Structure 1
Amino acid sequence: MEKKRNLHIGWLVTAMVVVLLIIDQWIKLYIKTHFCLGESVRVTDWFFIDFIENNGMAWGMSFIGKFWLSLLRSVAIVALIVYLYRIIRRGTHRLLYIILVALVLTGAIGNMIDSMFYGLMFTASSPYYVSYMVPFGDGYAPFFMGKVVDMFRFPFFSYTWPEWVPFWGGQQGTFFDPVFNFADACVSVGIISMLLFCRKELEQLGGNDKKKGEKKETSTQADKKETSVNKKGSKEDNKEDKK
Structure 2
Amino acid sequence: MSIKKSLLIIIIILLIDQISKLYIKMNFQLGEDLEIFSWFRISFIENDGMAWGTKLSDIFSFITDKSAKLILTIFRILAVTGIGYWLYDVIKKQKTKTLIFAISLIFAGALGNIIDSVFYGVFFSDSYGQVATFLPEEGGYSGLFYGKVVDMLNFPLYNGILPDWLPFFGGKQFSFFDPVFNVADVAISTGIGILIVFNKRAFREVNSFIKIDNSSYESNNNPT
90 and 148 in structure 1: CA distance in 2 versus 1, 3 angstrom threshold: same
Structure 2 residue 63 is matched with structure 1 residue 62: no
**Higher relative CO (CA 8 A, sep ≥ 6), structure 1 or 2?**
2
Between 1:60-69 and 1:169-178, the stretch displaced more is 169-178
**Aligned-pair RMSD on alpha carbons?**
2.2
Equivalent position amino acid for 1:61 in 2: G
Query: Between Structure 1 and Structure 2, how many residues are aligned?
Result: 192
> For the pair shown, which has the larger CA radius of gyration, 1 or 2?
1
Q: What is the 5 A alignment of 1:74-223?
A: 74-91=77-94, 93-126=95-128, 128-134=129-135, 138-158=139-159, 160=161, 165=168, 171-199=172-200, 201=202
Write the distance in 2 (CA, Å) between the matches of 1:139 and 1:34.
17
**Runs (4+) off by over 6 Å:** none
Q: How far apart are 1:173 and its partner, in Å?
A: 2.2
Q: In structure 2, what is the Cα distance between the partners aligned to 1:16 and 1:200?
A: 20
Aligned-partner Cα distance in 2 for 1:180–1:153:
7
Range moving further from structure 2, 181-190 or 195-204? 195-204
Equivalent pairs: percent with the same residue? 38
Which blocks of at least 5 consecutive residues in structure 1 are unaligned? 1-5, 205-243
Instruction: Answer 1 or 2: which has greater helix percent.
Output: 1
Offset, 1:57: 2.7
- How far apart, CA to CA, are the structure 2 residues paired with 1:182 and 1:144? 21
Question: Is the contact made by 2:96 and 2:204 (CA closer than 8 Å) also made in structure 1?
Answer: no
Q: Is the 8 A contact 1:21 1:110 kept in 2?
A: yes
Give the TM-score normalised by the residue count of structure 2.
0.78
Change (3 A) 1:136 1:24: farther
Give me the whole-angstrom Cα distance separating, in 1, the residues matched to 2:31 and 2:154: 12
